[in-house]
Amino acid sequence: MVHSQKAMNSQVGKVLDHLKGRSITHIFFVACGGSSAVMYPNKYIMDREAKFVSSDVYSSNEFIHRNPKKLGENALVVLCSMSGTTPETVKAATFARSKGAVTVGFTNEEGSPLAQESEFVVKYEWGDQANAIDTNLGTLYQLTMGVLNVLEGNNKYEKMLSSLANLQRVFEIAAKQYEASAQQFAQDYKDEKVIYTMASGANYGIAYSFAICILMEMQWIHSNAIHSGEYFHGPFEIIDKNTPFIILLGLDETRPLDERALDFSKKYGEKLVVLDAKDLDLDGIDSELQGYVAPLVLNYVLRKYAERLADARNHPLSKRRYMWKVEY
Amino acid sequence: MVHSQKAMNSQVGKVLDHLKGRSITHIFFVACGGSSAVMYPNKYIMDREAKFVSSDVYSSNEFIHRNPKKLGENALVVLCSMSGTTPETVKAATFARSKGAVTVGFTNEEGSPLAQESEFVVKYEWGDQANAIDTNLGTLYQLTMGVLNVLEGNNKYEKMLSSLANLQRVFEIAAKQYEASAQQFAQDYKDEKVIYTMASGANYGIAYSFAICILMEMQWIHSNAIHSGEYFHGPFEIIDKNTPFIILLGLDETRPLDERALDFSKKYGEKLVVLDAKDLDLDGIDSELQGYVAPLVLNYVLRKYAERLADARNHPLSKRRYMWKVEY
């Protein structure tokens, strides 16, 4: 098959050009909810790859009030909000900029407050028409690997670009592959009051997003994203034949944690939904980067699970009782 | 009243002496479950106070498999396990040491595997007879503020020592103050299937510990520790008149996040358990450090809540179905 060749996002390119002349020692990944969750795999990449640059992920308002001492001219602050109007994230951009940090706002709306308050803007695409490389996760990965390249000479940047160029095809294959499973999931779990998610490493943020945004926010189902390593130090006492768990198995270095959690869960639980990245067709994704890219695909597949669940429950993903409706 | 004067832990002192001759740029806080949760407020202190040294908190097995690139001779790895036998934490000590990092194992058992695998050991006390300054949180705070003093000249170390020396008295006053509330909590919530906890900043780890160790592990009650800032970006859609939330209000800089979460919860929820650190008698705790010390007191109070809940449910805190009983 023909693999796509796609150049990096030109707005990401501008940030990278600017960073060539800066001394950056720390990256803050700052956003809220689902946009915060997409920062987690970027932190994973930083931890695995960065020799000198350290990094943190914070919810926007925590970032502002915690006011980390390292926030200053040597910091890069990466922010994300789809609408660009999330008040805490907009305020975080203003705050970070006032401290002299380099700020990059990822948003779907180029004229939004976040875009205005950030020194650099990356517009990302969203929805059914978007190409994977242009989404929030796709553009963030370009930036993260690009920053590692510019600041530390990391050589995986080009491989990441070509992998992301092939990602849309991977998404489409996965969507077909998991269509029946998504339907089955919806039928089997539509009446559950509690559904846990579990993952580790590069995939933890995806489990977090599904727990707090899909299940709690959009479906009003109780949830908690359990870390597969923490599972054995408390949470596993909750599992029994009636307690559903969605378990993600990644391809990154922490996969053994997920496998162990799954093995145990199979013994004492019966309601297990397993998404194993080993089952994905990742042709076109560089073998060295498949662990990093897997969460993007699992995230895409889980969105299909969410859509089928919403259908089966007659509870649209857009339904809210408080968000955007009342004061908060 | 007479305020105690207590010298620092001599084992902590040995670590600090050693660090005077080392170049440390990063601290890894590594443990599992409840021992991991006590690392969170230490990370909060590092973020607020450290000008140069960066830090991360990892569950032990995540730490080993993630294998952060910055783990090496310039890293300090702080580990904790009460029994000193937690396999992942023992292995993390061995792993970190093999990478040339300085390792400090906090444990209640001086001859334990963790003590043997760590370059430095800090024995902490535990249980009803322990003085607050000698517990896991008390000794960890001595180390964290001591490290900041040695590496960066931070001047809050002495204040922390004298505050911790007075902490046991604060615990005892708080225990009496909250006795009736703990009883009431147990009666009101003993039949609940789900209880959420919520906090931010220095107190988040305490909420996390109560959710995964007390509620899920020891009481088999569904739970999730919601971050007060993240609440408005997903989780808040779950609250209604029937959904219980334990909300912690701290004295640290992120208190406004907790206040906002409480204000909203009061409008749409009815089952709210509020622990507000403003109600504590913190006489003897340096005013500059009360935000850092509050989580230790809230943690102590919550243990009383747990004990009363266990009594009311006839479900002892020591009861397990899997932990220490089956293979995992």
Task: Give yes or no for residue A289 having a pLDDT over 80.
Answer: yes
Interchain CB distance below 8 Å, A69 and B50: yes
CA atoms within 13 A on the CB side of A1: 9
The pLDDT assigned to B235 comes to 98
Out of B49, B200, B217, whose CB is closest to A234? B217
A156 lies in the same domain as A29: yes
Distance from CA of B213 to the nearest CA of A (A): 5
Query: Which chain B residue shows the shortest CA-CA distance from A70?
Result: B51
B219 lies in the same domain as B284: yes
Please report whether residue A182 resides in a domain. yes
Residue B6's pLDDT band (cuts 50, 70, 90) = low
d(CA B296, CA B137): 7
Distance from CA of B96 to the nearest CA of A (A): 15
Distance from CA of A2 to the nearest CA of B (A): 34
A156 lies in the same domain as A173: no
The pLDDT assigned to B244 comes to 98
The pLDDT assigned to A201 comes to 98
Distance from CA of B321 to the nearest CA of A (A): 7
Give the H/E segment covering residue B133. Answer: none
d(CA A224, CA B241): 20
pLDDT digits (tens, 9 = 90+) for B241-278: 999 999 999 999 999 999 999 999 999 999 999 999 99
Out of A65, A211, A232, whose CB is closest to B256? A65
Average pLDDT, chain B: 97
Is residue A297 within 8 A of residue A277, CB to CB? The reply is yes
- Measured between beta carbons, which residues in chain A are less than 8 angstroms from residue B51? 69-70
d(CA A58, CA B92): 25
Of A100, A130, A164, the one marking the end of a domain is A164
- Measured between beta carbons, which residues in chain A are less than 8 angstroms from residue B210? none
Helix count and strand count (H, E) for chain B: 14, 9
Interchain CB distance below 8 Å, A229 and B68: no
pLDDT digits (tens, 9 = 90+) for B45-63: 999 999 999 999 999 999 9
Nearest to B46 by CA among B201, B177, B186, B199: B201
Query: Which chain A residue shows the shortest CA-CA distance from B264?
Result: A328
Task: Give yes or no for residue A1 having a pLDDT over 80.
Answer: no
Task: Give yes or no for residue A191 having a pLDDT over 80.
Answer: yes
- Measured between beta carbons, which residues in chain A are less than 8 angstroms from residue B234? 33-34, 212-213, 216-217
Of A164, A199, A224, the one marking the end of a domain is A164
B126 lies in the same domain as B221: no
B277 lies in the same domain as B174: yes
d(CA A254, CA A4): 30
The pLDDT assigned to A86 comes to 98
The pLDDT assigned to B4 comes to 56
Distance from CA of A141 to the nearest CA of B (A): 18
Total structural domains within chain B: 2
Rg (CA), chain A: 19
B32 lies in the same domain as B148: yes
pLDDT digits (tens, 9 = 90+) for B79-133: 999 999 999 999 999 999 999 999 999 999 999 999 999 999 999 999 989 999 9
The pLDDT assigned to B1 comes to 46
Residue A5's pLDDT band (cuts 50, 70, 90) = low
- Measured between beta carbons, which residues in chain A are less than 8 angstroms from residue B255? 65
pLDDT digits (tens, 9 = 90+) for B145-164: 999 999 999 999 999 999 99
B138 lies in the same domain as B266: no
| A272-276: strand order across its sheet | A225-227, A196-199, A245-249, A272-276
Please report whether residue B100 resides in a domain. yes
B239 lies in the same domain as B139: no
pLDDT digits (tens, 9 = 90+) for A111-121: 999 999 999 99
Interchain CB distance below 8 Å, A229 and B51: no
Q: Mean of the pLDDT values across residues B133-154?
A: 98
The pLDDT assigned to B5 comes to 58
Please report whether residue B193 resides in a domain. yes
**A109: alpha, beta or left, given left = phi > 0 and alpha = psi -120 to 50?**
beta
- Measured between beta carbons, which residues in chain A are less than 8 angstroms from residue B316? none
Domain span at B67: 10-157
ipTM strictly over 0.95? yes
pLDDT digits (tens, 9 = 90+) for A254-285: 999 999 999 999 999 999 999 999 999 999 99
B59 lies in the same domain as B142: yes
Query: Which chain B residue shows the shortest CA-CA distance from A217?
Result: B234
Of A134, A164, A194, the one marking the end of a domain is A164
- Measured between beta carbons, which residues in chain B are less than 8 angstroms from residue A203? none
Share of chain A above pLDDT 70, in %: 98
- Measured between beta carbons, which residues in chain B are less than 8 angstroms from residue A324? none
Residue B170's pLDDT band (cuts 50, 70, 90) = very high
The DSSP letter of residue A222 is: B
Interchain CB distance below 8 Å, A233 and B86: yes
Please report whether residue B163 resides in a domain. no
CA distance readout (Å), B243 to A222, B105, B327: 10, 39, 34
Please report whether residue A320 resides in a domain. no
